[in-house]
């Protein structure tokens, strides 16, 4: 049986910057899209509804009555994809900072023993990773703190492009809301790794996929306060993990 692949796209007030035609690359690759309109107050809902109407069976829209934040938007979307029979799921940002071909590479990396694939923004010669120095260095500090909190070394937890094999472990990890609004990617990983003893996911089943291309898209809503809160979330994930250790 061929896999059913669904990518969740959380959208909050994206009307001004979302480039809908670029999403066709996913349909061409046989990948379904599930847009989650996170209580947008602009025209995002009607734009997405029109796109979905043009692609029956390939795109769906899930609308949240009020803004719940990216973490909840992604969690709702992934749970809905699971309920509709997806076998591989992923999520990516509406600004397509990770271009569709790169997101498809992340999705394709979930195969064999790989259960989780994380897009990773490693700037090397020959790659186009366009990130402001400020965001880059903040990202390095964050990734170091995330590695400490998780107890495994990871280069980039905050890239918006991620893919997962649908397992009981994933269902479990998505069953209840995340405590953290901005470090939920780290919390999701922590939940998956925590369940590993019972459900078989090992740190070696997670891979980072270095992206060839990624660009900071203007209009990011991540404020300095949000970054600070994400740091506090990381600390609480790390403390929680330390307390649970036998």
Ligand X SMILES: Nc1nc2c(ncn2[C@@H]2O[C@H](COP(=O)(O)OP(=O)(O)OP(=O)(O)O)[C@@H](O)[C@H]2O)c(=O)[nH]1
Site residues (vs ligand X, CB under 6 A): 10-12, 14, 38, 67, 69-70, 73, 93-95, 97, 158, 160, 220-222
- Among ligand X, Mg ion, none, residue 158 binds (CB under 5-8 Å by kind): ligand X
- 148 neighbors 232 (Cβ within 8 angstroms): no
- Among Mg ion, ligand X, none, residue 73 binds (CB under 5-8 Å by kind): ligand X
- Closest CB to Mg ion among residues 93, 208: 93
Chain residues 215-234 in contact with Mg ion, contact rule CB under 5 A: 220
- 184 neighbors 74 (Cβ within 8 angstroms): yes
Q: Smallest distance from the beta carbon of 222 to Mg ion, in angstroms?
A: 8
Looking at 16-99, which runs of residues are DSSP E strands?
Answer: 32-38, 59-64, 88-91
Q: Which residues contact 110 (CB under 8 A, 6 or more apart)?
A: 88, 116, 117, 163, 164, 165
- Residue 97 engages Mg ion in binding (rule: CB under 5 A): yes
Q: Smallest distance from the beta carbon of 14 to ligand X, in angstroms?
A: 5
Q: Smallest distance from the beta carbon of 227 to ligand X, in angstroms?
A: 9
User: What string of DSSP letters covers 126-164?
Assistant: TSEEE--HHHHHHHHHHHHHHHHHHTS--S-S--S-EEE
Tokens matching residue 27: 């349909």
- Closest CB to ligand X among residues 48, 166: 48
As a whole number of angstroms, the distance between CA 115 and CA 161 comes to 14
Could you tell me which residues are beta bridge partners of residue 119?
209
- Closest CB to ligand X among residues 8, 104: 8
Q: Smallest distance from the beta carbon of 59 to ligand X, in angstroms?
A: 15
Q: Which residues bind Mg ion (CB under 5 A)?
A: 93, 95, 97, 220
């Amino acid at each position: 049986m061929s896999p059913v692949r669904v990518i969740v796209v959380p959208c909050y007030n994206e009307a001004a910057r979302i480039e809908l035609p670029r999403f066709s690359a996913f349909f061409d690759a046989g990948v379904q899209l599930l847009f989650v309109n996170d209580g947008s107050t602009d025209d995002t809902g009607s734009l997405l509804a029109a796109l979905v109407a043009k692609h029956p069976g390939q795109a769906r829209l899930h609308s949240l009555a009020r803004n719940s934040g990216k973490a909840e938007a992604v969690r709702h979307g992934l749970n809905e994809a699971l309920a509709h029979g997806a076998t591989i799921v992923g999520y990516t940002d509406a600004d397509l900072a990770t271009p569709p071909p790169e997101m498809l590479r992340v999705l394709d990396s979930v195969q064999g023993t790989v259960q989780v694939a994380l897009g990773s923004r490693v700037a090397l010669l020959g790659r186009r990773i366009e990130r402001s120095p400020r965001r880059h260095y903040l990202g390095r500090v964050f990734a170091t703190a995330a590695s400490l909190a998780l107890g495994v070394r990871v280069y980039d937890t905050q890239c918006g492009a991620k893919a997962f094999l649908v397992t009981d472990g994933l269902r479990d990890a998505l069953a209840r809301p995340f405590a953290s609004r901005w470090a939920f990617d780290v919390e999701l990983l922590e939940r998956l790794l925590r369940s590993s003893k019972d459900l078989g996911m090992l740190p070696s089943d997670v891979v980072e996929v270095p992206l060839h291309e990624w660009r900071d898209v203007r209009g990011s809503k991540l404020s300095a306060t949000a970054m600070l809160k994400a740091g506090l979330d990381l600390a609480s994930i790390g403390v929680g993990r330390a307390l649970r250790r036998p």
